Amino acid sequence: MVLFDFDDTLSEHRLFSQRLVGTMAFAMWTFHGGVVERWAESVQRMMMRLENSYIAQFCPPVGMSPFGYRRWFQEAQTRAVHWLYEEAGLEPPANARQLALKGQKVALHRSAALFPRAREVVRGLQLRGFRMSIASGNDSRTLHHALVGCGLRPYFEKLYGADLVDCAKEGPEFYRAIFEDLGIEPSQALVIDNDAASIQWAWKAGARSIQVRLRRSLAEPIAEEALAVFDSLGDLLTFPLLR
């Protein structure tokens, strides 16, 4: 089983986020009117508050345990809807949650920011008979719609957002939970990720991994535990384990 990360592994996170903010702001404007730029500021601030809430809950030294993601996420979604309207200076309507989720879905479908050769590599691995899933710190709904938007959803069996295993991607527990759910031994998994810490967590969980460092503007630390470190996704197709 090949487990791909999404952000900064298949998709350029900064560009994706910029597009997401703009497209969701436009969606909310179509629902409520107002000023698109004000909605963009509201979406951006809401996303920042969500990130800060996540860090406080799960990231050391403040966070105590990576487990309990589902409960946090359900509560965070409710708060996020309130924050979205609060930042826009509006009282949330009765169907605010539905409208916010609809706006997010539309935005995710229109914010594709794949790295060069991402589609070629994923399709090539499928043609070679490899099973693939996603292992990301995002939630599974976000991953589904983001992958639909960039045309990659059919290639992946499972989308392991943190909600699927009720564990934040903040340690080897995340990968152990995925391997258990898949019913495979860690040695049967190959993790592909940009993040050095994630590579280390996968290694501690017993899996092999490849690190991809694709963002030219951000020099990722190199993980010594990786079998290989690539600066292009295309290099994956020439790696012996993936031939």
DSSP letter for each residue of 135-194: E-SS-HHHHHHHHHHHT-GGG-S-EE-HHHHTB-SSSHHHHHHHHHHHT--GGG-EEEES
Q: Is the pTM of this model over 0.75?
A: yes
List all residues 6 or more positions away from 47 whose beta carbon is below 8 Å from its beta carbon: 17, 21
* Architecture (CATH level 2) of domain 2-12+112-242: 3-Layer(aba) Sandwich (3.40)
37-93 tens-digit pLDDT: 999 999 999 999 999 999 999 987 766 789 999 999 999 999 999 999 999 999 999
Position 215 scores a pLDDT of 79
Give me the residue spans of the domains in the chain.
2-12+112-242, 14-109
Reported as a pLDDT band with limits 50, 70 and 90, residue 34 is confident
Position 61 scores a pLDDT of 75
122-143 tens-digit pLDDT: 999 999 999 999 999 999 999 9
- Cα angle for residues 123, 126, 131 (degrees, 5° grid): 135
3-32 tens-digit pLDDT: 999 999 999 999 999 999 999 999 999 999
